[in-house]
Chain A
Amino acid sequence: MADTLTRPTPETGDGPRPDRPGAVSRLLALPLIWPLLALVVLLVVNVIATPTFLNVRVQDGHLFGNPIDIIRNSAPVLLVALGMTLVIATRGIDLSVGAVAAIAAAVACTRIVAAPDESAASTAILASTAALAVCLLLGVWNGFLVAVLGIQPIIATLVLMVAGRGLAMLVTDGQITTVNNDAFSGLASGYLLGLPVAFLVALGMVGLTAVLTRRTALGMLIEAVGINPAASRLAGVRSRTIIWTVYAFAAVCAGLAGLIIAANTNSVNANSLGLWIELDAILAVVIGGTALTGGRFSLAGTLVGALLIATLVRTIPNIGIPSEANYLFKAVVVVTVCVIQSPRARAALRVRRPAVAKAGAAA
């Protein structure tokens, strides 16, 4: 996969443009073109169903409209997917992120409720910091199981996935804890410069990660570990430290996502908060073109993937289908993306391009 290392760095989320006119095939070969096209198709479908779908207006001093809602709702998935991208790049996977998000929310909310001044901004900051510290510990634990004990990532993180919600229930004592703190709820419903704070936080994390991985050697080292852990160790890469770091990072991202979800409802239900968010995050990562086999990753792809999922979730009720059915469409997206990515389907497509529809059945 050496060719992927030399591709132009797609740090910006907007669509790459062909530098020569008429280079359609060149355009189609760009890594992010398919998810972006899917995003555009979804938006077009929405506009056909509701012509005013893309309208954005200013209300109460901030932007307001469906696109703003979409980017706001995409923040938790984007955050979780960001951590997941780096984990998957090392050929791992983190199933525990949903449980970690629930634990973070549980810790933050119980601390805010227990604080002497429940509505103070400092209370919210202290509680959130404590929650993220707990997440860091949980991530270190995952990293220990994977990097030191050498347990398969899917199994190692399964342990915390199973036990995590129990731990979150333990923290909240099985209650749905409700908090009343403006600074905390501002994390989800607040606006800065007219844009939702939640999305800005997520985007900031993406930007920070992009700088850290693409402007330093870190990204390349992560990819090296993903391609061949043994060889990278022999080449002097501290693969153990790197694996440890990405799991800790993923857990902190998940914790941040958990805080945003809790702030959105001003409450935490340890049983349902962040349920299946790990699957949404993996979906976002896969849509973004990061291979589950590790060795390469695309942060811009993950950004597009998260936006695509948030748009999909918004589209379903907009075109008159019960919103619970969005799982059905996610399944279709997973299968389509994976079949397109699978080498065998690609080979079949290349040999007989006209028979695209039949190629799958014949393979």
Chain B
Amino acid sequence: MSTATAAPASVSAWDRVRTYTPPSRYVPVIVTFALFLGMFGVGGLRYEGFTDPQVFLSLLLDNSFLIVLAVGMTFVILAGGIDLSVGSVLALSTVIAAKTLEMGWSPYLSVAAVLATGVLLGLLMGLLIHYFDIQPFIATLAGLFLARGLCYLISVEAIPINDPTFSDWAFKSITVGDYFIGWTSIVALLTVAVATYVLARTRFGRTVYAIGGSESSAMLMGLRVAFTKVGVYVISGFCASLGGLLFALYTSSGWSLNAVGMELDAIAAVVIGGTLLTGGRGFVIGSLLGVLVLGTIQTFISFDGTLSSWWTRIAIGVLLLVFVVIQRLATRRQR
């Protein structure tokens, strides 16, 4: 910004801190972070043991799959699309993993099969959306039905996972002092880190923002619109299947009724994380914070004990509403 360089040089350090305003693009993420801290603070005041670091670490463990889903969803929403299929693809991944392991495949082969399925489904949806001008909403709706149907075709019943290597992965954790962090949380955080790097530092990431800002402008600028637009759905499909693997590790089973409606949680997390639903603005780190906020609501309700589980859905809905309305008012003012 030119105003920053034009400021007089004789301001004290305190003045600079006092008058500091963060760049407007970071404001939504900061708001979400403040909300998360605030909720944790209130929880710490109200319930004993809420501020124990292990509570935070289990938050990461219990929501690792949702974090991965939200990362994929962030790419899609940044590019101006939406992906309704992630919940079903996650369920399909758990079923494929469980079924292939039951059939005696090596766990590595099983993981590869799961990830390949996710990538393939994402690729198909991306191609439909870009080359046939089908709305993302309706194409991924077809993906939702397709993945759920495939689940049922493979197995209607839940399949337990008894593979020793798989259970080993599920329970492996790193212990620091009295606290432990599971491998699945580390995978989720690694996904966030890679996604942050890709979006901020690579040509692909910038093209994603450009397409979300204005697809026709991106096209006229000579950016690789087709590649990127299909690419975000491939990434989302990959993330959904990776999330499925984490979910299968978390529950040690595969079931076709897993994760019904989880796409809504992923979208809600992305929105609460400050990503603009019309695309072009937002950060992966915001989505991580969004998932943590959702997870904290859950923790709140389990700590309280008197509130029923359905208050989670209502609270998420209210938060979603507040953020959507704020987003709407903010974008209206800018015009």
A residues near B (Cβ < 8 Å) are 93, 149-152, 154-156, 158-167, 169-170, 173-174, 270, 275, 279, 282-283, 286, 292, 322, 324-332, 334-335, 338-339, 342-345, 360, 363
Task: Check B128 against A338 for contact (C-beta < 8 Å).
Answer: yes
Measured between beta carbons, the chain A residues less than 8 angstroms from B332 are 150
Q: How many A-B pairs with Cβ below 8 Å? A: 134
**B133 at the binding interface (Cβ < 8 Å):** yes
Kindly report which residue of chain B lies nearest to residue A286, judged by CB atoms.
Answer: B138
Measured between beta carbons, the chain A residues less than 8 angstroms from B152 are 322, 324-325, 327-328
| Complex CA–CA separation, A158 to B309 (angstroms) | 20
Candidate in A328, A335, A338, A339 with the most chain B CB atoms within 10 angstroms? A335
Task: Check B264 against A158 for contact (C-beta < 8 Å).
Answer: yes
Kindly report which residue of chain A lies nearest to residue B128, judged by CB atoms.
Answer: A335
**How distant is A302 from chain B, measured CB to nearest CB, in Å?**
16
Task: Check A338 against B324 for contact (C-beta < 8 Å).
Answer: no
Given A159-B320, A170-B314: 11 more A-B contacts, CB < 8 Å: A152-B277, A166-B310, A174-B309, A275-B260, A279-B141, A279-B145, A325-B149, A327-B148, A328-B150, A331-B146, A363-B131
B residues near A (Cβ < 8 Å) are 82, 128, 131-135, 137-139, 141-146, 148-150, 152-153, 156, 256, 260, 264, 267-268, 271, 277-278, 308-314, 316-318, 320-321, 324-325, 328, 332
Can you name 10 A-B pairs with beta carbons within 8 Å?
A152-B277, A159-B320, A163-B317, A166-B311, A170-B310, A170-B314, A324-B149, A324-B153, A331-B149, A344-B133
Measured between beta carbons, the chain B residues less than 8 angstroms from A292 are 135, 137-138
Please provide the 10 A-B residue pairs with the shortest distance between their CB atoms, ordered closest to farther: A163-B317, A328-B149, A166-B313, A324-B152, A169-B310, A327-B149, A331-B146, A331-B145, A166-B314, A334-B142
- Judged by DSSP, the binding face of B is helix
Task: Check B131 against A344 for contact (C-beta < 8 Å).
Answer: yes
| Complex CA–CA separation, A201 to B92 (angstroms) | 38
Candidate in A159, A326, A330 with the most chain B CB atoms within 10 angstroms? A159
| Complex CA–CA separation, A270 to B312 (angstroms) | 15
**How distant is A283 from chain B, measured CB to nearest CB, in Å?**
8
Contact (A339, B260) CB under 8 Å given A163-B317, A328-B146: no
| Complex CA–CA separation, A150 to B278 (angstroms) | 13
Measured between beta carbons, the chain A residues less than 8 angstroms from B146 are 327-328, 331-332
**How distant is A57 from chain B, measured CB to nearest CB, in Å?**
33
Measured between beta carbons, the chain B residues less than 8 angstroms from A160 are 317
Kindly report which residue of chain A lies nearest to residue B331, judged by CB atoms.
Answer: A150
